[in-house]
Chain A
Amino acid sequence: MRMTGAKAIVEALHKEKVTTLFGIPGGVVIPLFDAIYGDKKLNLVVTKHEQGAIHAADGYARSCGKPGVCIVTSGPGATNIVTGLATAYMDSVPLVAITGQVPTAMIGNDAFQEADTTGITRPVTKHNFLIREPGELPLVLKKAFYLATTGRCGPVLVDVPKDMLTAQIEFDYPDKVSIPGYSIPEQGHARQIKKVMDAIKEAKKPLIYAGGGIITSNASDELKKFAKTTGIPVVLTLMGLGAFPASEPEFLGMLGMHGTKTANYATDRCDLLIALGSRFDDRVTGKLELFAPHAKFIHVDIDPASISKNVIIDIPIVGDAKQTLREMNKQAQKLAISDWLSEIARWKEEHPLTYSNDEVLRPQYVIDRLYEITKGDAIITTEVGQNQMWAAQFYKFNKPRRLITSGGLGTMGYGLPAAIGAQLANPDALVVDIAGDGSIQMNIQEMATIAQRALPIKVVILNNGYLGMVRQWQEYFFDRRYSATCLRRDKRCPDICCEPGPHCPPYVPDFVKLADAYGAVGIRIHKKADVDDALREAVTQDKTVLMDFLINPEENVTPMVPAGAPINKMISSKEDADAFLLA
Chain B
Amino acid sequence: MEKEYTLAVTVENKSGVLAHIAGLFSGRGFNISELSVGETENPDYSRMTIVVKGDEKILDQVKKQLNKFIDVVKVIDLSGATAVHREIILIKVKAPAQKRQEVFQIAEIFKGKVVDLSHESLTLEVTGIADKIEALIKILQPYGILEMARTGRVSISRGAGKKGGTTNG
Contacts and interface: CB of A to CB of B under 8 A. Distances in A.
Interface in A301-317: 303-305, 307-309, 312
A183 B27 contact: no
Given A119-B19, A122-B19, A122-B23, A181 B64 contact: no
Given A122-B20, A308-B60, A180 B73 contact: yes
Given A119-B19, A123-B27, A185-B169, A304 B70 contact: no
A304 B67 contact: yes
Contact of A181 (B23, B60, B168): B168
A183 B70 CA distance: 9
Contact of A182 (B23, B65, B70): B70
Interface in B44-76: 57, 60-61, 64-65, 67-74
A119 B69 CA distance: 15
A130 interface: yes
B39 to A, nearest CB: 16
Nearest to A303: B68
Nearest to B26: A123
Contacts of B27: 123
Contacts of A123: 23, 27
A305 B61 contact: yes
Main secondary structure of the interface of A (DSSP, over half): loop
Interface string B1-33: 000000000011000100110010001000000
B12 A304 contact: no
Contacts of A122: 16, 19-20, 23
Nearest to B65: A305
A305 B68 contact: yes
A11 to B, nearest CB: 24
A308 B58 CA distance: 11
Nearest to A306: B64
A461 to B, nearest CB: 36
Contacts of A308: 57, 60
A179 interface: yes
B70 A179 contact: yes
A147 interface: yes
Contacts of B61: 305, 309
Interface in A112-153: 118-119, 122-123, 126-127, 130, 147
Given A123-B23, A303-B68, A304-B68, 7 more contacts: A126-B70, A180-B73, A181-B11, A181-B12, A181-B73, A182-B70, A308-B57
Interface of A: 118-119, 122-123, 126-127, 130, 147, 179-185, 303-305, 307-309, 312
